[in-house]
Chains A and B, each alone.
Chain A
Amino acid sequence: LAKTTQPISMDSYEGQEVNITCSHNNIATNDYITWYQQFPSQGPRFIIQGYKTKVTNEVASLFIPADRKSSTLSLPRVSLSDTAVYYCLVGQAGTALIFGKGTTLSVSS
């Protein structure tokens, strides 16, 4: 399984763009990159998934360089409600989802 490394914590202010980068140097050809968000006292929630280049949905964008050894989750104009733990996962279809320690994002006013 490809191991992921991401910052333990990040701080931001409302209205700013937040970029969280995840390193996965030994990602395999068939691995996808997936990000989940977890609020206190709740289970994680899927945010976005990608294989290469850029993926955008109504919540976030995911940037993946050509070598796929890292990925960046971009949250535009964060609000207080974006305060949460963000997890980067790398894996193949049909295998268990393995979560790392995640990045705790704190958004202040």
Chain B
Amino acid sequence: EAQVTQNPRYLITVTGKKLTVTCSQNMNHEYMSWYRQDPGLGLRQIYYSMNVEVTDKGDVPEGYKVSRKEKRNFPLILESPSPNQTSLYFCASSRSGTGSYEQYFGPGTRLTVT
């Protein structure tokens, strides 16, 4: 089954404790992206990757890091989480990064930082 998977699905952590949210897709997609969704603010792009070893900042990159060493994986790293990073996070993938193709989203990771 074609899908985007994320782990963990739920995470409660404390300020400053480094964490990684994993994302994997099995559709051989070139493009992958991370979004966060907050009430009243909608979906905002954090980072994106056009292909392996090619990553760039989205609209709200502060406090986040990413890497793309393999085509299928695109982990999101929070080096020193803060309470304002409490949010619902989605990983997405697409055939390409032209904006012409639909993106497929993972199930989401609900992160709470206390």
Asked if A and B bind, the verdict is no
* A-binding residues in B (CB < 8 A): none
* B-binding residues in A (CB < 8 A): none
